[in-house]
Amino acid sequence: MTRMTPLGPDEPASHPYRLAARRSTAGDSAIDVGGRRIGGGDFALIAGPCAIETRDETIAIARVVRDAGATMLRGGAYKPRTSPYAFQGLGQAGLQILADARSETGLPVVTEVMDVRDVEAVAAVADMIQIGARNMQNYALLTEVGRARVPVLIKRGLSSTIDELLMAAEYVLKEGNAGVVLCERGIRTFETAYRFTLDLAAVAVLKTLTHLPVIVDPSHAAGRRDLVEPLALAAAAVGADGIIVEVHPDPDAAVCDGPQALRCDDFARFAARVQHVAAAAGERFAATAPA
């Protein structure tokens, strides 16, 4: 993980994001997540189901994405849902399934935490804890994951500014957790042809402002499977340090967000195309390489 250089005497106390700012360290930070790296030239391909549904299915998906070159497995055990009547995730049982999938495939796992009271349990299993877009300004939660021993993936709120995203990172960094990865996942605009407007300029801006790795989630932005690939290629080209995508063997049967999930049987082709464009844009695709 990155080492923070001490702030010099010319560093104003009021600096808005003193630890996240590019000037606070030399070069780009690379974050170690369960033995794989994100940032510093290593392009991460994080893939998996939206929600953890069953053990067998999760392990099957994990094998598919690992064989195609994914670097990490994603999957939701605790799911933020707009409606209280919608499926809320398997919770602790889902975490156990993720641990099993890691054992079976060797992939580090990334999963979301929504409640400060769950941070300890999630951190005990996850290789990287995700803060979802809806909780990007849940400061109690940011502070709590700042005290955890695993890296934190912070998704940009759907109408959060770039500055606010960096300040959310600062809440985590301030507690001593230097393993912060940022994620652009679409902002809310007037356009209705897709779900959110993927703001790739934000990735380019963030790379000028911070040393932290920045990845992109084209699945949640698009909300439509057919847009995920072109947006993933664009993310690779714009200079992102990785992407996080949803994959499912039978999207029509998925309990949530099926319409945006890539199909397992198409994933290897998808991953190869992303790898090809990332390489053309100068990223090292760390998919199958040891960190």
Minimum distance from residue 100 beta carbon to its own copies (Å): 26
Q: Which of residues 202-261 bind its own copies (CB under 8 A)?
A: 202-205, 207-208, 221-222, 226-227, 230-231, 233-239
Minimum distance from residue 200 beta carbon to its own copies (Å): 5
Task: Residue 77: name the closest of 129, 38, 8, 19 by CA.
Answer: 129
Minimum distance from residue 184 beta carbon to its own copies (Å): 11
5 within 8 A of 26, measured Cβ to Cβ = yes
Minimum distance from residue 65 beta carbon to its own copies (Å): 21
* Bridge partner list, 177: none
Q: How far is CA 62 from CA 21, 57, 241, 286, in A?
A: 35, 9, 21, 17
Sign of CA dihedral 6, 9, 15, 21: negative
The site for its own copies, by CB under 8 A, has a size of 68
**Stretch of 23-31, 100-108, 114-122, 248-256 contacting its own copies, by CB under 8 A:** 114-122
Please give the full DSSP string across 197-217, using - where no structure is assigned: B--HHHHHHHHHHBSS-EEE-
Encoded amino acid at 48, one letter? G
Return the number of the residue (36 or 79) whose C-beta is nearest its own copies: 79
Q: How far is CA 206 from CA 57, 162, 215, 216, in A?
A: 36, 7, 10, 12
Residue from the set 199, 217, 257, 283 that interacts with its own copies by CB under 8 A: 199
Q: Which of residues 42-61 bind its own copies (CB under 8 A)?
A: none
Residue from the set 67, 279, 288, 289 that interacts with its own copies by CB under 8 A: 279
* Bridge partner list, 21: 210
CA distance 80 to 245: 17
Does residue number 115 form part of the binding site for its own copies (CB under 8 A)? yes
Residue from the set 80, 91, 258, 259 that interacts with its own copies by CB under 8 A: 80
**Stretch of 47-55, 201-209, 243-251, 264-272 contacting its own copies, by CB under 8 A:** 201-209
Minimum distance from residue 250 beta carbon to its own copies (Å): 22
